Amino acid sequence: MADFLLYALLAGLALAVVAGPLGSFVVWRRMAYFGDTLSHAALLGVALGFALDVSPTLAVTVGCLLLAIVLVTLQQRQPLASDTLLGILAPSTLSLGLVVLSFMHDVRIDLMGYLFGDLLAISPTDLAWILGGSALVLCLLAVLWRPLLAVTVHEELATVEGMPVAGLRLALMLLIAVVIAVAMKIVGVLLITSLLIIPAAAAQRHARSPEQMALGASLLGITAVCAGLALSWFKDTPAGPSIVVSAAVLFLLSLALPKR
Amino acid sequence: MSEALIRLEQVGVSFSGETVLERIDLAVAPRQIVTLIGPNGAGKTTLVRAVLGLLKPHTGKVWRQPRLRIGYMPQKIQVDPTLPLSVLRFLRLVPGVDRAAALAALQEVGAEQVIDSPIQTVSGGEMQRVLLARALLRKPQLLVLDEPVQGVDVVGQSELYRLITRLRDRYGCGVLMVSHDLHLVMSATDQVVCLNRHVCCSGHPEQVSGDPAFVELFGQTAPNLAVYHHHHDHSHDLHGAVITPETHVHGAHCKHG
């Protein structure tokens, strides 16, 4: 197998495994739009990374974390609904990213690669970032699993029972931010949320516990990555979109299967 | 009342300039059942949230016994339909709870039959019992119940109140609950606090049910409960503000303006 295909496969699988449990939380807590906003902001992170001459992956991680904090602060300070705020922040940060990039005449970047992913161009360094980031997020999710679940079920009950609710909520946002930063190479900023949401939504109908849903989502994600890469390899289709299309097909199949 | 579990002193809460609670004094002692009653918009839930620490009062202070374990039963709970969660898993969200402990708590409240049901399919009355079971699993020193009998039929209501009294006797915890159901509350409580943004009257149910402030608030149903009467010398306008006539003499229990 060619090296680049192996890298692509490993990166895709790492992302699929962590996207299962994290995507389940995104579905349960109705954070799909939040994920979308963060991923749009990722492009701004890329632009700033070039402007300040730091690693784009690092810049994107920091950028997403900052946006998550800005969002939480805005939510607490003023009365606009969250979806309105997200509707302001998502296109604004994406546009700002594009504007900043246009100022840098000496930088040639593959915009399509950032928007839709360039999985087959992953370098060993990128792969290390992706594996490390995914492992970190997976460990933190395992440790925080029960408190996060308690907060998702009922925030006030969790508060009274002594859990640090605001901290947990922020932690979940930060985990999503890290995953988006590392996933950008794989499926691009415009497609990242689909990898979080589609497998989780497909697993939802057939799961009887939160853990089953998370695990099922990971397995479906792995299947989608393999199928998408195969499609890309044999039919020369773009890798990221092929993975998303595979995931969507799996979702449709899950609807066709009778509910347990 | 130095042995109180929780004590509120002159607590006031306002939302965007609108006073919701003013100068509330309230204490709950161990083994004591305190019931908050009052019309819609009287600030009952707000007061409960202040007690629980979910809301910081703008004036006054809330004192809790250090490391007080509170069992809280919210008014209702809506679990997202996409979250596959059984009643057992819901109860096990409390740290250190295994299946046996969850089952015991459910048996205690008479809802053991739903242990493996998805939480979204549990009926209103059963859900109240499940929430009570979760509160009990915390081995609470103070049980806070926001309208515990909501959505429960009349027979179930008195049963639930008897259950709360029994749990108090068994665990020796203090109970603070919010209620609408005057008749049933009266038999199951040690102290009634009649709330309408301020404490209108408070005391033993027999006293309170005859208190004209109480009669004023609850109208026709109240006389049926009346055991004891004394004169009432203030009334409320539509917003619940006190209209004090010239003749009003402030007494020891007067907590309004």
The vertex-B154 CA angle with B150 and B158, nearest 5°, equals 85
Give the alpha-carbon dihedral of B105, B109, B113, B118, to 10 degrees.
Answer: -70
The vertex-A141 CA angle with A228 and A83, nearest 5°, equals 75
Q: What is the pLDDT of residue B235?
A: 55
Residue B86 touches chain A, beta carbons under 8 Å: yes
CA distance A95 to chain B (A): 33
The CATH number of the structural domain formed by B1-69+140-257 is 3.40.50.300
Rounded percentage of chain A residues whose pLDDT exceeds 90: 40
DSSP for residue B118: B
Q: What is the pLDDT of residue A212?
A: 95
Please name the residues in contact with B3: beta carbons below 8 A apart, sequence gap of 6 or more: B29, B30
pTM: predicted TM-score of the whole model, two decimal places: 0.84
Q: What is the pLDDT along chain A (260 residues), one digit of tens a residue?
A: 678 888 989 999 999 999 999 999 999 998 888 888 888 888 888 888 888 888 777 888 888 888 878 887 888 787 888 888 888 888 998 899 889 888 887 777 778 888 888 888 888 888 998 899 999 999 999 999 999 999 999 999 999 988 999 889 889 988 988 888 888 878 888 888 899 999 999 999 899 999 999 999 999 999 999 999 999 999 999 888 999 999 999 999 999 887 65
List of E strands, B96-223: 142-146, 174-178, 191-196, 198-203
Predicted confidence band of residue B219 (pLDDT cuts 50, 70, 90): low
ipTM of the complex: 0.83
Residue with the bigger pLDDT between B210 and A42: it is A42
CA nearest neighbour of B80 among A217, A154, A259, A199: A154
Cβ atoms A26, A176 nearer than 8 A: yes
Residue B95 touches chain A, beta carbons under 8 Å: yes
Q: What is the pLDDT of residue B256?
A: 52
Contact A156 B74 (CB under 8 A): yes
Instruction: Inform me whether the pLDDT recorded for B223 exceeds 50.
Output: no
Looking at every residue in chain B, the average pLDDT score rounds to: 81
Looking at every residue in chain A, the average pLDDT score rounds to: 88
Tens-digit pLDDT profile for residues A65-101: 888 788 878 887 878 888 888 888 889 988 998 898 8
DSSP for residue A81: -
List the structure tokens of B238: 């539509």
Residue B82 touches chain A, beta carbons under 8 Å: yes
Q: Could you please report the per-residue DSSP string of B53-106?
A: TSS--SEEEEEE-TT--EEEE-S-----TTS--BHHHHHTTSTT--HHHHHHHH
Residue with the bigger pLDDT between A69 and B86: it is B86
Query: How many cross-chain Cβ pairs, A to B, lie less than 8 Å apart?
Result: 58
Domain ranges within chain B, ordered by starting residue = 1-69+140-257, 78-139
Q: What is the pLDDT of residue B148?
A: 84
Q: What is the pLDDT of residue B221?
A: 54
- What count of residues does chain A have? 260
Contacts of A210 in chain B (CB under 8 A): 83-85, 89
SS3 state at A29: coil
Contacts of B70 in chain A (CB under 8 A): 160
Residue A146 touches chain B, beta carbons under 8 Å: yes
Residue B79 touches chain A, beta carbons under 8 Å: yes
Pick the CATH number of A3-190 from 1.10.3470.10, 1.10.3720.10, 3.30.565.10, 3.30.1360.20: 1.10.3470.10
d(CA A43, CA B8): 51
Q: Give the rounded distance of the alpha carbon of B89 from its chain centre.
A: 26
Please tell me which of the candidates B84, B90, B144 has its beta carbon nearest to residue A213. B84
Tens-digit pLDDT profile for residues B60-79: 989 999 889 999 998 888 89
Q: Which of A145, A153, A159 should we substitute to test contact with B (largest number of B Cβ atoms within 10 Å)?
A: A153
Contact B89 A27 (CB under 8 A): no
Contacts of A20 in chain B (CB under 8 A): none
Domain ranges within chain A, ordered by starting residue = 3-190
Predicted confidence band of residue B133 (pLDDT cuts 50, 70, 90): very high
Instruction: Inform me whether the pLDDT recorded for B181 exceeds 80.
Output: no
Please name the residues in contact with A211: beta carbons below 8 A apart, sequence gap of 6 or more: none
Phi, psi of A105 (to 5 degrees): -70, -30
Q: Kindly tell me the burial class for residue B194, based on how many C-beta atoms sit within 10 Å of its own C-beta (0-12, 13-18, 19 or more).
A: buried
Residue A207 touches chain B, beta carbons under 8 Å: yes
Q: Which of B82, B131, B132 should we substitute to test contact with A (largest number of A Cβ atoms within 10 Å)?
A: B82
Q: What is the pLDDT of residue A1?
A: 61
d(CA B112, CA B87): 10
Strand B191-196 and strand B33-37: pairing? parallel
Cβ atoms B255, B211 nearer than 8 A: no
CA nearest neighbour of B153 among B116, B181, B134: B181
Contact A160 B134 (CB under 8 A): no
Contacts of A208 in chain B (CB under 8 A): 84, 86, 118
CA distance B189 to chain A (A): 24
The vertex-A101 CA angle with A98 and A104, nearest 5°, equals 155
SS3 state at A207: coil
Tens-digit pLDDT profile for residues B183-208: 667 777 888 888 888 888 887 877 77
CA distance B52 to chain A (A): 6
Residue B142 touches chain A, beta carbons under 8 Å: no
Phi, psi of B238 (to 5 degrees): -60, -25
Q: What is the pLDDT of residue B131?
A: 92
